[in-house]
Amino acid sequence: MHKEIRSIIRAGTRVETDEEQCRFVIDHVPDVILRMDRQFRIIYVSPSVLSMFGYLPEEMQQLPSLEMLIGKEFRTEMRNEYLSMVHARQPIILTHQAIHRNGTTFWAESLVNPVFENSSCRFKESVTVIRNISARMAYEESLAEDARQKDVMLREIHHRVKNQFAILVNLMNMQKTNPNEQDPALFFTELQGRIRTMALLHEMLYQSFDTENIDFGQYLSQLLPVITTAFHRKAIRVHHHFDPCILGMEMAMPLSLIVNELITNTYKYAFPDHQQGDLWVELALDHHHPSGDQIYSHKLVIRDNGKGLPEGFSIENQPTMGSQIITLLADQIEARLLVSGEKPGTSFTIYFSDEQKG
């Protein structure tokens, strides 16, 4: 009998210890543990309900309906899912918006497990574990938004690449049909320069955080060495100064091709017989125009101290491929091009606005 008494005492101690451990876990777990009978009355709710919902456990048990803690748009679906769970006798996981006591909402995930009587197999109650998943939902939404942005950017890249191929095809057709420029070596050299000009613009655009706009001054500082290196003319000294100028691609691309053509023409014609000379490229803010007929935001000046232009020169009447590109693209971006060819040297000034006129 003494042995049986000691065995009972030890068993009772183990049960008490197990209950204490179970109570400790329940009291400190951040998830809400909730028991609800078949009439949807709360039998038990863990203390963590205060931090998650703002109610004390005894206050939760006095609520007229648990549905008042669920977002209105989720109530019907959750009621149907609950009934399906009882019928299927299988646990379910529900994702829904929950309502805090102060009226704010948060995303929650509820794991609902049905409990049945052993003898009759009749539904007895449900045990639910509720977890706040707002941080996870925000993270998933950020991933979805990133995916949407990448999809938009990819579509924009495809659109731009398509446009750039169209520009290249048009440039090749213009040069192919120009009777004044049929030298194959010159044809491919100038075509390479135009391709490099466009490629550098895209490279800088996609390396930046802004996929719509580009610092055109920074772009010019990288474009100049690309163009000048192709001609191997160390006797021509290059000087430059660029004010900040943020441009969208629709403006930057035509303007970059104009710059390429003007600098290329300087190297081709301004200093014959490998003469020494200077080339200046300047980008500056300019909120007026000498003629007073239009206000522009910027001016781009490309000038040299070379042999100058022939008397009566007009870029609009030149048959060369480069001159045609310059005039066509200047019209496209609604820029004003002024040419001065007083010896010594030549000066091209392009007045433009950082936004095209609608």
Looking at residue 225, its amino acid is P
36, 69, 77, 92, 100 from 73: Cα distances, Å? 22, 12, 8, 19, 16
Quick check: is 347 in a domain?
Answer: yes
Q: Which among 132, 158, 187 is the end of a domain?
A: 132
Q: Are residues 82 and 165 in the same domain?
A: no
Q: Are residues 194 and 317 in the same domain?
A: yes
Residue 348 falls inside a structural domain: yes
Counting the structural domains of the chain, the total is: 2
At 317, the amino acid letter reads N
What residues of the chain score a pLDDT lower than 70?
1-28, 153-154, 156-161, 163-164, 171-172, 174-187, 209, 211, 287-293, 342-343, 355-358
Say yes or no: 333 and 212 in one domain: yes
Residues 171 and 318 occupy one common structural domain: yes
Nearest to 32 by CA among 5, 13, 59, 51: 51
Displacement of CA 326 from its chain's centroid (Å) = 33
- Residue 303: what pLDDT? 93
> Do residue 279 and residue 191 come from a single domain?
yes
Q: 60 in a domain, yes or no?
A: yes
Within the chain, strands assigned E span: 32-37, 42-45, 92-99, 105-116, 123-132, 213-215, 236-242, 246-248, 277-285, 298-304, 336-340, 346-352
Q: Quick one: how far is CA 190 from the chain centroid?
A: 34
Q: What per-residue confidence (pLDDT) applies to 272?
A: 86
State pLDDT tens for residues 31-85. 999 999 888 888 899 999 999 999 999 998 888 888 889 999 999 999 999 999 9
Residue 285 is assigned to a structural domain of this protein: yes
pLDDT value at position 354?
A: 80
Task: Give the integer Cα–Cα distance in Å for 301 and 340.
Answer: 11
Residue 17: its pLDDT value, please?
A: 53
User: Considering 132, 160, 184, which residue would you say is the last residue of a domain?
Assistant: 132
Regarding whether 306 and 182 lie in a shared domain, the answer is: yes
Domain that holds residue 84: 31-132
Give me the long-range contacts of 209-216 (CB less than 8 A, separation at least 24). Answer: 211/153, 211/156, 212/248, 212/249, 213/246, 213/247, 213/248, 213/249, 214/246, 214/247, 214/249, 214/252, 215/244, 215/245, 215/246, 216/242, 216/245, 216/246, 216/247, 216/252, 216/255, 216/256, 216/283
Contact 96, 102 (CB under 8 A): no
Which helix (DSSP H) or strand (DSSP E) does residue 27 occupy? helix 2-28
Q: Note whether residue 26 is domain-resident.
A: no
- Residue from 314, 217, 327, 356 nearest 262 by CA: 327
**239 and 127 co-located in one domain:** no
- Report the CATH number that the domain containing residue 230 is assigned in CATH: 3.30.565.10
Per-residue burial over 13-41, b = 16 or more CB atoms within 10 Å of its CB, e = otherwise:
eeeeeeeeeeeeeeeeeebbbbebeeeee
Question: What is the four-CA torsion angle of 253, 256, 261, 264, rounded to 10 degrees?
Answer: -140
Specify the pLDDT at position 289. Answer: 60
In a domain, 1, yes or no: no
Cα–Cα distance, 265 to 285 (Å, whole number): 25
Give CA–CA dist 217/70, Å, rounded.
Answer: 56
Do 185 and 252 have their domain in common?
yes
**Which residue, of 98, 132, 166, is where some domain finishes?**
132
* Spatial distance between the Cα atoms of 254 and 90, rounded to a whole number of angstroms: 65
- 205 and 240 both lie in a single domain: yes
Rounded Cα–Cα distance for residues 173 and 140 (Å): 49
Whether residues 196 and 65 share a domain: the answer is: no
Give residue 358's pLDDT: 38
CATH of the domain at 95: 3.30.450.20
* N-to-C CA span, the chain: 103
Shared-domain flag, residues 190 and 62: no
Q: 282: burial class by Cβ within 10 Å (0-12, 13-18, 19+)? A: middle
pLDDT of residue 23: 61
Whether cis (ω within 30° of 0) applies to the bond prior to 254 is no
User: Is residue 8 in a domain?
Assistant: no
- Pair 128, 255 in one domain: no
- The verdict on residue 295 lying in a domain is yes
Query: Does the predicted model carry a pTM greater than 0.75?
Result: no
